[in-house]
Amino acid sequence: MKQSIKTVEMHTGGEPLRIVTEGIENLYSGDLLATRRYLRDEADHYRRFLMFEPRGHKDMYGALIVPADHPEADFGVIFMHNEGYSTMCGHAIIALGRYAIDYGLVERTGDAVQQINIQCPCGLVQAHVEVSEEKTGSVRFESVPAFAYRLDQIVNTTEFGPVSLDIAYGGAFYGILDASSLGIDLHTSSVQQMISTASELSQAIQEQLTIEHPEEADLGYLYGIIFTDGHVGNESNPSRNVCVFADGQVDRSPTGSGVTARLALNAAKKLSKIGETHQFESLTDAVFSGKIIRQLRWAPILRLQLRLVEGPTIVDPVSSYMKRMICSLVDFY
């Protein structure tokens, strides 16, 4: 049996997004989180087929568009990467906002800025896409409630001894710390050093701490480590960060959900005020900007204005892959 899977290839700040447009159907259960669990437990061969070599690579990232069960959503999405399925992805939301309009997933409204509601595993995210002369441009989004989870948390590591870091949630949970505290320079240190250090920190956190989301058990786990330059990202001086997530996967963009988590930390430490814009750059020098728009009872909601300094999201041609359902190599590729 052969099965054709079609995708659209995009990237935001150099971080890839493979959007599955055809070929994976009849998996939706009526509940987005339940569908995510089914893919993870019963149909993970699709992710491995699309993310791994020879069709993908170690840092490939994907998005499967599914029906939404949220009454306000235009569509739903399930994110995937080299290890499994994430709960939120800012760079993907930016790309999906443009894709939804350009490829007719939603009807054009004729507005200069069109709002698109996307149901993610973490909740409803509102994307706002600039449209000029029928062409889509910059995208910003209002994320789910974000919060600082633990401040100045100590974890014990084999190589570095006790390490102090913060843990924050921006659609996913991150361990966040100043890279220089572990001898890492975000401009000159090797990516492999960052990956190996992040791996040790992730293992220590998972072994020593329990992470729980206040509303949804499926969201309660550590997704990645974010190394920062120690700055807060004032508008005229972007703060550099590198996110290592999943199985040593390195984000080429500033990490939308990570930026959200960093802003939540800024708020908890009284380093950012409501409406104050901050900027964050990645190892590709792509820049995202963001600001807190309001405070909830237990968390700030962050409205992120995410723009690349050099230009908008890039769309590559449509690709097509033929999957042999009986091929034993699917477990390896």
Mention the CATH class of domain 2-139+313-323. alpha beta
Contacts of residue 270, Cβ cutoff 8 Å, sequence gap at least 6: none
Separation of alpha carbons 135 and 130, rounded Å? 8
Q: Specify the pLDDT at position 301.
A: 66
- Nearest to 179, CA basis, from 170, 169, 189, 171: 189
Q: Residue 33: phi, psi to the nearest 5? A: -65, -35
Q: Tell me how crowded residue 212 is: count the other CB atoms within 10 A of its CB.
A: 13
Q: Tell me how crowded residue 188 is: count the other CB atoms within 10 A of its CB.
A: 6
Would you state the structure tokens that stand for residue 62, as one six-digit string?
Answer: 């994907």
Q: Specify the pLDDT at position 235.
A: 74
The verdict on whether 89 is a catalytic residue reads yes
Instruction: Looking at the structure, give the CATH architecture of the domain made up of residues 145-304.
Output: Roll (3.10)
Catalytic residue among 89, 120, 122, 243: 89
**Domains of the chain, residue spans:** 2-139+313-323, 145-304
Contact 114, 98 (CB under 8 A): no
Separation of alpha carbons 129 and 139, rounded Å? 5
Q: Which H, E and C letters describe 167-196, residue by residue?
A: EEECCCEEEEEEHHHHCCCCCCCCHHHHHH
Q: Tell me how crowded residue 83 is: count the other CB atoms within 10 A of its CB.
A: 14
- Nearest to 244, CA basis, from 289, 291, 189, 299: 189
Q: Tell me how crowded residue 93 is: count the other CB atoms within 10 A of its CB.
A: 29
Separation of alpha carbons 222 and 235, rounded Å? 29
Q: Residue 100: phi, psi to the nearest 5? A: -60, -40
Burial of 133 (0-12, 13-18, 19+ CB in 10 A): exposed
* Cα Dmax for the chain: 58
Q: How far is residue 212 CA from its own chain's centroid?
A: 19
**Within the chain, which residues score under 70 in pLDDT?**
1, 298-299, 301-333
Separation of alpha carbons 305 and 290, rounded Å? 5
Separation of alpha carbons 139 and 240, rounded Å? 21
Q: Specify the pLDDT at position 320.
A: 54
Q: Residue 56: phi, psi to the nearest 5? A: -125, -150
Handedness of CA 59, 64, 69, 75 (dihedral sign): positive
Q: Tell me how crowded residue 174 is: count the other CB atoms within 10 A of its CB.
A: 30
Contact 79, 88 (CB under 8 A): yes
pTM score of the predicted model: 0.92
H-helix segments, the chain: 32-42, 45-51, 90-102, 191-208, 256-268
Q: Do domains 2-139+313-323 and 145-304 have the same CATH topology?
A: yes
Report pLDDT digits (tens) over 267-313: 899 999 888 999 999 999 999 999 898 888 766 766 554 444 334 45
Q: Specify the pLDDT at position 4.
A: 86
Would you state the structure tokens that stand for residue 150, as one six-digit string?
Answer: 């633990």
